[in-house]
Structure formats: structure tokens, C-alpha cells
Chain A
Amino acid sequence: MLVIDCPYCGPRPELEFSYGGQAHIARPANPATVETSDWAAFLYLRSNTRGLHAERWRHVRGCARFFNALRDTTTDKFIATYRTGEPAPAIDSRGDR
């Protein structure tokens, strides 16, 4: 069980959170004009990164807010968490800020 640092509430156990998949995938503003393949990419394509992964979490049993996190998927260590709408923090190759 991971410890996740909710940007609104502070560190809490993973049991309070739900995972929300890859972060920074914006829904197209005007889906009607999006090509079928691009729409499929929006729906289904994920980076599935081995290494530093920007992802969404929701503090569903806490403040209920979504936020983003950078996690190393090879160690499950969190490098940073940040609020929805903020850009991912710039990180050196292996997670040193």
C-alpha cells in the first residue's frame, strides 16, 4: 500500500485513493471534427511508460479531488504530486528535481 501525497490533504494511504490512469490527456474540444484514428487514440492509447509516469489519482475517500502525480513505474516511488491543471514538474532523468 503506497503512501500518496495529496496536494490538498497531505500524505495518506493508498486505500483512500483511486487510480485514474495516465494524466494530461485532454478531451478534444470539438470531438465532432476529430479524425476517427485520433479519437481512438484519445480513447485508448496510453503511454504505459516504464519509468516516470504522469498519472491521475483521486483522493476519493478524502477530499474527493483529482490530482496528478509523477511516479516511477519501475519502483512505485512518487516523485511529485501536483494539482489538476498544473503542468508536470520538470524532472531530471531519474526523478531528481
Chain B
Amino acid sequence: MNSWRTDGGGRIDRTRALSFSFDGRRFTGFEGDTLASALLANGVHLLGRSFKYHRPRGILGAGSEEPNALVRVVRDHSRATPNLRATQVELYDGLVAESQNRWPSLGFDLSAVNDILSPLFPAGFYYKTFMWPRRAWHAFYEPRIRAAAGLGRAPEGPDPDRYAQRFAHCDVLIVGAGAAGLAAALAAAASGARVILCDEQPEFGGSLLAEPSARIEGMPAADWVAAQRSALAARPNVTLLARTTAFGYFPHNLIGLSERLTDHAAAPSAGSLRERLWQVRAREVVLATGAIERPLVFPGNDRPGVMLASAGRTYLNRYGVRVGSRIVVVAGSDAAYAAALDLKAAGAEIVALADVRSAAGEAATAAAREASLPVSLRATVLGTSGRLRVSSVRLGTVTSGGAVEESSSVACDAVLMSGGYTPTVHLFSQSRGTLSWNAERNVFVPGKPAERTHAAGACRGIDALAAALADGAAVGSVAAAAAGFQGSTPAFEASAVEFGSAGAPGALAQPGPTPPAKAFVDFQNDVTTKDLALAAREGFRSIEHIKRYTTTGMATDQGKTSGMNALGVVADGFERSIPEVGLTTFRMPFTPVTFGVFAGYARCDLFDPVRTTPTHDWARGHGAVFEDVGLWKRARYFPKTGEDMHAAVARECRAVRTGCGLFDASTLGKIEVVGPDAVTFMNRLYVNNWSTLAVGKSRYGILLRDDGFVYDDGVVARLAEDRFHVTTTTGGAARVLGMMEDYLQTEWPDLKVWLTSTTEQWAVIAVQGPRAREVISPLVSDIDLSPGAMPHMSVGWGKICGAPLLLFRVSFTGELGFELNVPADYGRAVWEAVYSAGRSRDITPYGTEAMHVLRAEKGYIIVGQETDGTATPDDVGLSWAIGKAKPDFVGKRSLERPAMKAPGRKQLVGLLTEDPTVVLDEGAQLVESARQKVPMRMIGHVTSSYASAALGRSIALAMLAGGRARIGETLYVPMPGGDIAVKVTAPVFYDPEGVRLNG
């Protein structure tokens, strides 16, 4: 295909060519490629631009740690995903990828001028300038900075794809399916424990997939991996999850996994299941998360073509791609030698192997000598050149005295570097386990765990193959045993050509204190050694401050490749050790996780449960407009053709006042309070005196919190000596029951009372209006509805249309009214029967809006509208309801607090505008005099405001400071268009004597 692809080898399927495009150019790759490997195979090294200086960037790594090669992958308009790492994007046929953060093109990016001007933009420069003139920051500078910042572009349309969520339990969760993780899984699985093994890559095996020389149990390592994977998959107690990232370690051994299901597929349909969140509760967790190679820090270490040695090996051995033909290898660790050897064997020329140390390990040295690698020790890199891809490297030598001398300039087309490996301790640290410093290897490794956590293999510094397998097996057995499953620890015979992976974080030696070119520590965020030095110079000592000031470690790789080098540079600068400088906190997620995975199924109707009443479908069929009240959908009004809300509500109100209205009150909370101590319980809880409530009667009840403020209200009926039927507000049902249970269980456990929510058991059909009795009489049996037998606030059992009926003579409208409580399953049928029976009397279904108007005409409050959590019963004119003789009830003591008795509390009043056609804005404020200047002296606010059909004018309720003493006064409502004069009245506008109610 081309010269960069090897003739054979790798784990790609050369029989399956895939076509893809990058920035509009068409390329071909193979099944098994990543976007990165396929581009490299096509000789493309330039993939992106850096965040700040817009420097050309290539591919640094081969895995999830990649900071540079970020692309946008576009399936369609609404399925475009920014900031994906090309090293993780699996190639599929037809893949479309774009580079980001460049204009007009990736090769020629005008913003690259930032690189030239970079002396003006050191770390934190924006704190020092853009302050003049004062308003210019937001008006001028910030928009330009914002436009220049950011990487990819947000998706444009609503995401059509779906996301799933699953809870799982297991005995042992193993994170990472490399050598150690697989060994741990085999050991744990053999013990019979329920095992989940996950790995972020599509294929299990970790680094073994790029180790052609490694052999386990006599077979090539990759074959062994495949065999063990099959064996594990065949076990019923094992769940294997590939393409699954363990992103978060939460308290009590809950691990969050994100599984990617379709992003690798060529043509998943829009709406397919894209990703799944697993919330795994594991008895024991084994972290076999491996290690990440560190870049070396030298001037020009960011050019396309400069990459990690492990990446060079991985592209060669796993994907069959030579990353260069003339390669300079820079070794801060023996691991670099393996890359040099493999690439040389694959036909690349190793033009220099610059080892920055004074000596390499014995095995590496011997192998290099045998392969005639051009090794130079005590080397350093002074710079690189090549605009869009590295073309040469200037090497230097560190003399025994510590001076740095330039030695040679070497032409090349790739640089492989290794600073050693950093154990991946993110999850361990997230779990709040303490890290300990391994001075021999210059790494932090897991120390004391905080949860039931075990670490195995390279993530705790054990990376030789045989040792990692043995460690994994041992840890797997220990974890299974800790979960209660004993088994033997398997042993694996293994061999590999391996060198050490230890190195020293920090920057390479340079001739002067300030290198002439930028040596990058954090690639994506363009943080250089100079920036770190500047932060130190400016007095930032804490590593957290240095991180925040320079933004090192804050890019989308979250410091995976930069963190330890930054620590090394800072520690050198402060002449302190790395553990003295300390680490910044590891936070979830390990790698970025799609919002949709967290949101899962929750969208539209699944965002919150939808509660509907038994008549919901009927109401919908009759054109109801619904409103959300708590989780409920309530019919707000029933517009007829051509009616707006105002007209519909006026018609509905008139119907109730003159004929008969039908209203679904099923959403009201209902609680049965039952038991020999029920009346005692109610007396202690509600403000009212329930001892005087006769069986068969009901009463308006008020519930306070113990701080004295109104919490809820509702009609309470006494169905028997020991049985109360308590109704609550629609939104308050659950919290009132919770409060009742709280007092009953924890304060008065001696009371013999049982509480049952019956909200969903009853459909409640309110029939209201002067003709209500006529309408329901023919349908009701076993109850005498006559005013004498069934006066206002009485309750009785009977039947309606053959269904059991709990009938309340009660009114929230001020008219003669009944509330028919029937078992919910009968609700629709009874509703329709009443509706049919009422047709001849023009029965009118009405919604919550008319209900609000009708009750406001009567001055009945709505808890949550007239009250707001700061109102006492007296404030809203309900002192009459308080059982004065009771020694105590919840909230009583608080009503004696100074603030509750202070003058000037807001009190419920009515308001009538001077102009009867003006309907006040709910929430509008009240002032004493017209044309007030700000700050005004606001003395009250409008709580409810409607056009009243019955009164032929607007009405309003308000909470007004000292309101009851102000009745008759004229006040003003300041509005943007001018003041509105209002007259303060009593809060009852209609039938204040209650004649109609008792009709």
C-alpha cells in the first residue's frame, strides 16, 4: 500500500481495506487500525494544533493518554463528536475525521502567530493585562480570547443516539486486561468468584499486543491472551467488558464503567445504543491499570514525528506501521532500546540512540551492541527542526562537570523518546488510597488502600512479564479469597525480551538556564519548563497553585503524560524531592466520559416519572392543556375551539358559579391516619383541635413545621373514632407523609398509629356549583344528600354507579360542592357518568386555572403561593384554625419567638386595582407612595392575581406588611410602565358570608 506499512505482522486484517477521510483527503487503512495508525501508515503525522500557541502537533502516544492528536469525528450533523483521541478512534469504513483548532487549514493556521508572539504570553499573562479600559475585558478582550480558546466544536443538533445504564454486583472487579489483569482474572475466576474484567481497549492484552517476542505457556503472548479470553468467556461466573473504561472509583467500592458499543461500527443507525454506564458494586477491586510512558522534556519535543518509544513499538508491532525511516531514539529509560531494536529489525534506520543517562541497563546495553545501535551516553537534546514534521535533532553531551556541549545535528523523520513509565494510579488515588513514593523507580505506587482495593502489575511498578503475571495471579487469588472464594494461585511460565522501564521525571539538561526554544511539559496546553519556572519565580509554591497558574495537567489528558515531568521540573527548581512537592488530586473521570452515559435513559418523559390521574386521557381527549405540578400532569384548562386561556377560564368559572363544574382533584395527597392514638397524633401534629371533630365530619387542617411556618394544608375527615382521612397539597403529599412518619417513629413511638398513603387509591372528582346536587343525586345511593343530612363539611360512605363512594361535602370554590372519592379504577367511569348526567345542566369540566380563580375570589390560600415558607398561620389569616387550648402542637413554640410577634409582619389582604381591567402581575411589589426611586421601600407583594368573571373585574391577593390594618388604604404597584394604584381590601371578594357554600 505504501512504504510506511510493513509487509506483514501486526494485528490488522490486511484483507479488509477501509476507506476514510481526514480533513477531506481520502485514505485507506485496514480493519484493526486506529485512526492514528491508519494516518501514520499513510505518512500523515500532522493531526492537530496546540491549544495556546497553535503549534503543529502530531501523535505522541498510542492510547488513551494522547494529548495531541485530537480530532472531530463526524457521522452526521447531530452525531459529530469533538476532541476524540485519534489513538483511540477505531477505524471503520467511511470514517470522516477533521482536525480542530486551526484556521484556515491545519497546515497553515493563522493563529500560529501566537507561537511567534509567545514571549508576550507566558504562564498567567492574562492575569496581568487586558484591564484597561475597565469594560474592555468583557466587551473586547474576552470574546477574542474565547474564540481563540476551546478545541473542537460542539455537536450541533440534538443527539439522536441512546445511552443505557446497568447496575451490577460482583465479587472481584478487575480493571485492565493486560498480563497482570488477565492473570488476576484467571485466578479469581477459578475460585468460583463472580468476576468482571474490563479494559478500555477493543482487544484484551494490553502491552502484550505489541510484544511479538513475548511467550507465555509456550505460545506467543497474543495467542495466549486470545486463548485465555476464550476460556474466561466460557465461564458463567465471568463477565468480560472490552471497550470499557473504569472511569471513577466511588465510596464503598462502587466503580463507574463506561462501555462504548457502536462508535467503532461503520454504520450504526441514528438512535442506536451508543454507550452504557455500568455501576459495579464489587466486593474486591483489582487494579491492573498498567503504566504510561513519559515523554522527555527538551526543546522542540512537540513536533509532529516526535513520539513515545512505546507508541513507536505499538504502531509497528500491533498495527504494522513504521513511524519513520530515519529515527532518532532518545532514551531516559531502557524501554527506549526495545523500540530501537524492533524498528531497526523492521527496516528503519536508527540514526542515533541518545541515552540521557550515564549508563543503560546491562541487557539493553548488550542488545544495543549486538544490533550495532549508535548509542551515545550522557546525551541530551538541544532542539529539533521541521515545520510540520520533525526533520532533524540537535544532540548534545553532558560533560562530567555538568556542562552541556552541542555534539551533532542529525537528520531524521521521527524521534522516539522514553522517560520511563508512570504507574497508572488514578483509580487507586480516586478511592482515597494513599500513594507511596518508590525512590528506586522514581514513581508513586499504591500504598495503603482506603477501600477493598488491590493493585497488581505495572500499576504498582511490577512490569517484567513473568513477574506481572505472577503478581496478577497472586493478587487475583487474594482478592477472591477476601471475597470468600478460596482457590489455588495459577502459575504461568513466560519469557520476553525486556528491559527496565524506570526513568527520572524532569527536563533534560540544557546549556543555559533558559533554553532558546520551548521544551514542553504539558503538550496540549502548551506549558513549557519556562512557564513552570516563571510560576516558581512569582512565588507559587504549592503544586496545586503551579498547576492552576500554568494550567499544566489541566488539558484533556489531565496530566497523564505531563504530571510527573511537571513535578520533576518543579522539584528540581525548588531543590526539593518529588514527594515533598506532592501530587495534585486525581479526580474522576480517568478519561473523558460522554454526558449521555451519565444521563442514560433520562430524557423527555423519562426525565422524571409522569404521574397522571384516572381521567387524564379523557381530559386530553377533551382538549385539556396540562401543567406540571410536582410529578403530576394536571389539566390547567379546557379550551374550546378559538378560546385562549383567558376565555376558557372565564367560561369555566362562570359555569361553576352558575351551574355545575367538574374537576379532577385526584392529585391531592391522601394519608390515612389510623389507630387508637390517631386523634392524639393529629392533635400533636396539626394546629387544629381534632378531639372535637365528630365522626362523619371534616375540617380544614393546617400543618406547620416546628419552626412555626406553614408547611401544608388540607381537609381532614374523621371516618371513625380511630381513623382520619388526611388530604394534603398535590406537591406536599410525600413530604407530609415523611414528616408524619418522622414524628411517629422517632418522637412518639409509643403512639399506636399507622400511616398509609392512599393518594393513588382514590380518584377524587369534584362536582361544584349550585346544581352540583342535582347532577349527582341520581347517581349516588346509600347517602342522603339533602342539606340537612349532608351539610357542608360532612362526609359519608355510599355508592355511585355501583362503585364504593367516600363522599365529601366540601368546597374549594365557594359554591355548593361535593368531592366524590372512588377507587381509582372506577375514576374514569364515574367521571364519565357524572359528566353524562350533567350534560343537560351544562356541566363544565374545569382545570386548575379556574380552580385558582374561584378559590382566590373566596380568599382561600394556596400553600406555596400565598405562603412561601416564611408565613405563619396568623400571617395568612388562619389563626382561627388553631386549637387554642392545646398545650402543644408542632410549631406552636416557634410561634412565640420574637420575630413571629413582631409588628409589621406581612399579612394576607385583597387588592383591587383602581382600573378594574388591569390584572396585576403575580410577584409584583407594593409601595406606599407613587413614583418611588430605587431602592424603593417595598412593603408587600402580589401572590395571586386574576380576572374574575364573577366580579367582572380583576382581583388580587397579596402579602402586605401590617396588611390587616391597612385595609382601605391606597397603595401602588410600581411597574416598568408606571405605577398602578390599588386599594387594600379584605381577602374575600365573593360571597363573604358563605351563603352559597351552604346551599
Contacts and interface: CB of A to CB of B under 8 A. Distances in A.
Q: Do chains A and B touch in the complex (CB under 8 A)?
A: yes
A5 B749 CA distance: 22
Interface string B732-774: 0000001001100111010000000000000000000000000
A56 B252 contact: no
Contacts of B281: 3, 13
B84 to A, nearest CB: 29
Interface in B885-909: 887-888, 892-894, 896-898
A26 B749 CA distance: 12
B251 A2 contact: yes
A50 B179 CA distance: 42
A39 B894 CA distance: 8
B745 A84 contact: yes
Interface string A27-40: 11011101010011
Contacts of A28: 893
B245 to A, nearest CB: 19
Interface in A10-60: 13, 18, 20, 26-28, 30-32, 34, 36, 39-40, 42-43, 56, 58, 60
A93 interface: no
A28 B747 CA distance: 10
A27 B252 CA distance: 33
B746 A76 contact: no
B893 A58 contact: no
Q: What 9 A-B pairs have minimum CB-CB distances, sorted nearest first?
A: A31-B893, A3-B252, A66-B745, A76-B251, A27-B747, A66-B746, A2-B252, A84-B746, A39-B893
B742 A66 contact: yes
Contacts of B746: 56, 66, 84
Nearest to A20: B742
Given A1-B254, A43-B894, A26 B741 contact: no
B892 A84 contact: no
A40 B894 CA distance: 9
B98 interface: no
A38 B894 CA distance: 11
A1 B249 CA distance: 11
28 contacts: A1-B250, A1-B252, A1-B279, A2-B251, A3-B281, A20-B742, A26-B747, A30-B887, A32-B893, A32-B896, A34-B893, A39-B894, A40-B897, A42-B706, A43-B706, A58-B738, A58-B741, A64-B741, A66-B742, A66-B746, A75-B251, A75-B432, A75-B450, A76-B251, A76-B252, A77-B251, A84-B746, A84-B749
Nearest to B741: A64
Nearest to A39: B893
Nearest to A26: B747
B898 A30 contact: no
Contacts of A18: 738
A13 B252 CA distance: 10
B707 interface: yes
A65 B707 CA distance: 24
A43 B707 contact: yes
Interface of A: 1-3, 13, 18, 20, 26-28, 30-32, 34, 36, 39-40, 42-43, 56, 58, 60, 64-66, 75-77, 84-85
A40 B651 CA distance: 50
Given A56-B746, A58-B741, A31 B251 contact: no
Interface string B866-892: 000000000000000000000110001
A85 B747 contact: no
Q: Specify which of B250, B251, B893 lies most central, judged by the most chain A CB atoms within 10 Å of its CB.
A: B893
Contacts of B887: 30, 32
Nearest to A78: B252
B685 to A, nearest CB: 12
Most buried by A among B251, B281, B450, B749: B251
A27 B738 contact: no
B279 A31 contact: no
Contacts of A1: 250-252, 254, 279
B544 to A, nearest CB: 20
Given A36-B898, A64-B741, A85-B749, A31 B252 contact: no
B486 to A, nearest CB: 23
Nearest to B684: A27
B377 to A, nearest CB: 49
Interface string B279-305: 101000000000000000000000000
A32 B888 contact: yes
Contacts of A39: 893-894, 897
* Of A1, A26, A56, A64, most B-chain CB atoms within 10 Å: A1
Contacts of A76: 251-252
Contacts of B252: 1-3, 76-77
Contacts of B450: 75
Given A43-B706, A66-B742, 13 more contacts: A1-B251, A1-B254, A1-B279, A18-B738, A27-B747, A28-B893, A31-B893, A32-B892, A39-B897, A43-B707, A66-B745, A76-B252, A84-B746
A27 to B, nearest CB: 5
A28 B746 CA distance: 13
Contacts of A77: 251-252
A42 B887 CA distance: 18
Nearest to B893: A31
A66 B432 contact: no
B252 to A, nearest CB: 5
Nearest to A74: B432
A27 B741 CA distance: 15
Contacts of A27: 706, 747
Contacts of A32: 887-888, 892-893, 896
A50 B202 CA distance: 44
Nearest to A3: B252
A31 B888 contact: yes
Contacts of A75: 251, 432, 450
Contacts of B254: 1
